[in-house]
Chain A
Amino acid sequence: MLLDWGYVAVFAIVGAGMVALPLLIIWLISPRSSYPQKFETYESGVPAIGQAWSQFNVRYYLFSLIFVVFDVEIIYLYPWAVAARSQGALAFYELLVFLVILTLGLVYAWRKGALEWV
């Protein structure tokens, strides 16, 4: 078990090194020349107006709120899927109770217009 995650850790560390390798190569061999215009932010060729880091209307925030609920639901369903067979019919009724409550939530959000792009 611990060995499994040791393998994953090695994969992540060695992998990060391999991804960084081409960056090292370009740092060594790429040409360098600089003039001020080169480091401007691209905005269709005209000087950029203001910053991109401004107040921004994240229109899908309602979706993200519902997403949190459903994603947590899915996390609970993974262990259920593994254990369901051994639990028999009881597991099915448990799933029904669990999903009916969540589906009611989805229907509520739908009726309230949270699933519309405003």
Chain B
Amino acid sequence: MTPGSAQGTGVGPARGDAAGSVPGVAESPAPGAGVGTFGAAALIMRRELRLSFRRPEHLVQPLVFFLIITTLFPLGLSLQLSQLRDMAPGVLWGAALLSSLLSLDALFKSDADDGTLEQLALSGQGLTVIVIAKTLAHWLVTGAALVLVSPLVATALDIPASAFALMMSSLALGTLTLSWLGSIGAALTVGLKRGNVLISLIVLPLAMPLLIFGASATERAISGTSAAGPLYLLTALCVLTTTLAPFAASAALKISLD
């Protein structure tokens, strides 16, 4: 038979120290023993990233979408170079927001569909920790990846290299804020069959300030004037959503799980 059955206990088959006591049942782990909140968050993030890298097509999809939209505009409009530069911030930001919205509906839905979300909720870790870890992991594979390829797109849109640093930091703030907003939308629509459209309806109006301030920060960076104002506002929105969205999303998730 199997090695486990030789030990004669279905609870802790591999344990050699079974003498006399009942392994597992007698010494069940104390609450929260072993894994702290940060450890759990790191574990969940690692799992999310591993899952993303096992499915490279999901990883590449938002990036390709981003590249395609931003190259279609100049091709379709046959603009003068100076006009292109005027349009660049809006095109860049619109494309960035849309492409990071693309994969948002899967944030909790894939886990909810296969039942692993229930297992996560019963793991003894708070839903807030789960929301934070999953959202950050999502941002790393979409938002942060978009930020990294944005210089490529910016070059195609004739944005000067001197504006790259500001553009990238504003994009990083904007996409992170969007991921937090999206986590609320994804948590609210997790139980729905076609939550995809609903997420866009919930998140896009909230994302309008991001588009406005983000594009304006990039525009100022291109023209060489101070972008401090819009950048501060973007930072404020990012801090606001980072602190509040996890609670809103976990409350929504709790309702959806019921």
Answer whether A and B are interacting partners. no
